[in-house]
Structure 1
Amino acid sequence: MKEFEFIAIARDLFKSRKKEVVYGAGDDDCAVIKLNDRYLVLSSDMLHEQSDFPKIMTPFEIGWMSVAVNFSDLAGSGVKPEYFIFDICLREGIEDSFEEILKGVKALCDRYDAEVVGGDVDFGDELFIVGFALGFSDRVVVQSGAKAGDRVYITGLTGKSQLALEYYLKGYDREEIPFVSSLVMPEPKVKEGLMLTHTANSMTDISDSLAVSLHNIASRSNVCIEIEAMDLSELLEFVDYDKALELFLYGGGDFELVFTSDSEPEVGIEIGRVREGKGVHILDDIKRTVEFRGYSHF
C-alpha cells in the first residue's frame, strides 16, 4: 500500500511548527487546529475517474461521492461538516454532466446542513474532483487515544462495497449487483460520529479497509487490538465464509466507523478488545494476525 509510504514522507517533511497545529500532515484522518477554546478540523480527498468512478455511477452519484469521502473523515473524528469546497477537472464529452455532478454535491451537503462555499473548474484528459471539508468541535476524537481495556466497536458490517465492486468488475448489470448503493452512493456516518464524540477514546472511518483502520489505531495508540468476526450473514448470502471474512477485514469503501471505548456507546457493535502489546489479531478458530492491507490507490 504505497499510499501510506507517501503519507509518511509528507508527515516527515511537513512536521507541524505552529503551536496551534494539534494534528498536522499525516498525523490522523484530519488536520486539527486549536482556535481559542474550539478546534478547526479540516480534510481533503481526491477522486478520479479511472480508480473511483465505476461506469455505472451517475453524474449525481459522482458528486455525492466527492462529498462523502470528505465528510466521512470528519465523521471519523466526531465532527460535523460545516463548509465544503471542491475543484473539478472535466474532460471532453462530459461537460453536460456538470450540473448533475453539482446537484449530487449539493444533496449531501444539504443533508448535513453544510455550505458549499467555492471551488475551481478546469479541463483535462480525465475527470478529477478534489474535495475539501471543514468543521468545528470542542473535542476531536483521534486514532491515538485507544487504551488497554477498551472495547472495540464498529457501526456496521464492512465488505459490502468491495463485494459490489467485484460483481461490477465481473460484468453484472447494476440491478444484479448486491449492495450497489454501498459502492456508488455511500452514506458517511456523520450522525453516528457526533453521537460518539464524548464516548469514544479513539475512532476513525473505514475507507481503505477495517484492517488498515485497526492498524492505524493500534500503531498510533501503541496497543494491541484483538477482534472477533461479527455476524457475516449478509455477505454469506453471496460468498462462502472465507471470502466473507476476507471482505469484512480487507474490503474498502464502506465508510463505517470503528472506535474504542471504555463505556457503553449509544451506537456500535462490539467486535473486540484493546490489550497491551502491538499489532492486530483476529480470534477465529485460532488466533491469527490481521495483515495491513486493503484498497490501494496504486
Structure 2
Amino acid sequence: MKEFDLIKIVERLFGNEDVITPAGKHDAAYVKIGNRLVVLTCDTVNEISDFPPYMLPEEMGWMAIAVTLSDIAACGAKPLYFLSSISLKSTEYFEEILKGMKKVADRYGIKIVGGDIDFSEVTTIAGFAIGEAKRHITRKGARGGENVFITDLPGKAQLCLEMLENGAKRDELPYAEKLYTPVPRIEEGMRIARYASSMTDVSDSLAVSLHQISQSSNVKIVIDNIDLSHLSGARKPLELFLYGGGDFELVYTAKSSEDGIRIGRVEKGGGVFAEFNGKTFEVEFRGYSHF
C-alpha cells in the first residue's frame, strides 16, 4: 500500500468528534482547548529515506524540527512547543544534532520541552510540535473564481537530489539550502491564513497538494502559469515542478495575494489540470511517498 492508503486507514479508525480537524484531514490536527485553537502535529525523519548525501549531523537536527514546523505553517499557526524522540546508532554526534534543532527553535521562539532518547540501527528523529492558530484553515474551502498561489516555485529540492544521485558534489548544487536546511514558512503562513480560503504545504509534491485541495473543496484546479526557468539544469523540469518532493513551501487559494507567486486558478468542477506550451493535460496524483 502507498502512504496515502495508510492515511485512509488512520482516518477510518481514529475519527474523533472532539477534534475540529482530525487525523488525516490536514497537515496537522486542530483541537479546541478552552478558548484556544491548538494545532498538533508530528513528523519523522531518518537517515535512509530523508537525509541526503553529505548532510551534517547539525543539519539532521535542523531538518527534524523544520519539517514538523512546516505542518504548523500550513495551519497559519504560531509554533510554541516541541518534543522529540531521538533514536541513535551512535552518541558521537548527539550534541551536534541538538544544536541544529536549537537553531530552528531559537529562530521561531519555540521551547523544546522534552522527549526521549533510544538506540537504533538507523538514526531516526521524530518530532512533535504544538502551536496556536487564530483561524481554522485547511485544504477545504477553495472556491471557483479564486487563484492559486505558492510561496516559492517548486522542484528545487528534487533537482538537487537528482544532481547528487548523478554524481554532483554538494558545493555544485544550485539550491543546497532547500535540501539541507529547509525553512518552514511560519511568518508567511500566519499572514496568509488571515485571508486565504485553503492552504497546505507541498512537501510531497505540488501535484499531491493540489489534488488534496481539489478533493477536499470539490473544485477544479488549473495550473496555468508554469515557470521552469529555475529548473533550467534539469532533464525533465516539468516533472520536477509538478511531482518533485521536499519543497516545504505553502500552496493556497485566494482572490489575490502579495505573499506568493500566482500559478493557477480555481474553477467549478473537479480534478487538477495544467496548461503548458499550448496544451492542456490532467495532472496525476503523484509525488513523494515513503512506501
**TM-score, reference length from structure 1:** 0.95
Output the aligned Cα RMSD: 1.2
Q: Tell me the amino acid that sits aligned with residue 245 of structure 1.
A: L
Is the counterpart of residue 271 in structure 1 residue 263 in structure 2? yes
- Mapping for residues 18-97 of structure 1, pairs under 5 Å: 18=18, 21-91=19-89, 94-97=90-93
Query: Which residue does the alignment assign to 2:9?
Result: 9
Taking the aligned partners of 1:283 and 1:137, their CA distance within structure 2 comes to 35
2:216 to 210, 213, 220: 220
Give 1:38 shift.
2.5
- Mapping for residues 161-176 of structure 1, pairs under 5 Å: 161-176=157-172
Partners of 2:159 and 2:234 within 8 A in 1: no
Query: Which residue does the alignment assign to 2:138?
Result: 142
Partners of 1:211 and 1:291 within 8 A in 2: yes
User: Which secondary structure state, in structure 2, belongs to the residue aligned with residue 51 of structure 1?
Assistant: coil
User: Which secondary structure state, in structure 2, belongs to the residue aligned with residue 25 of structure 1?
Assistant: coil
Partners of 2:53 and 2:164 within 8 A in 1: no
1:67-92 C-alpha deviation (Å, 9 max, x unpaired):
1111101111111111110000001x
Q: Tell me the amino acid that sits aligned with residue 174 of structure 2.
A: P
Is the counterpart of residue 295 in structure 1 residue 288 in structure 2? yes
Taking the aligned partners of 1:275 and 1:175, their CA distance within structure 2 comes to 43
Taking the aligned partners of 2:114 and 2:70, their CA distance within structure 1 comes to 20
Gaps of 5+ in 2: none
Taking the aligned partners of 1:265 and 1:219, their CA distance within structure 2 comes to 23
Taking the aligned partners of 1:159 and 1:135, their CA distance within structure 2 comes to 28
Q: Tell me the amino acid that sits aligned with residue 120 of structure 1.
A: D
Taking the aligned partners of 2:289 and 2:23, their CA distance within structure 1 comes to 20
User: Which secondary structure state, in structure 1, belongs to the residue aligned with residue 211 of structure 2?
Assistant: helix
Number of equivalences: 290
**TM-score, reference length from structure 2:** 0.97
Taking the aligned partners of 1:106 and 1:140, their CA distance within structure 2 comes to 29
Partners of 1:196 and 1:266 within 8 A in 2: no
Percent identical residues:
50
Give 1:112 shift.
0.5
Taking the aligned partners of 2:163 and 2:197, their CA distance within structure 1 comes to 37
- Mapping for residues 181-220 of structure 1, pairs under 5 Å: 181-220=177-216
2:249 to 256, 260, 265: 256
| Deviating 4+ runs (over 3 angstroms) | none
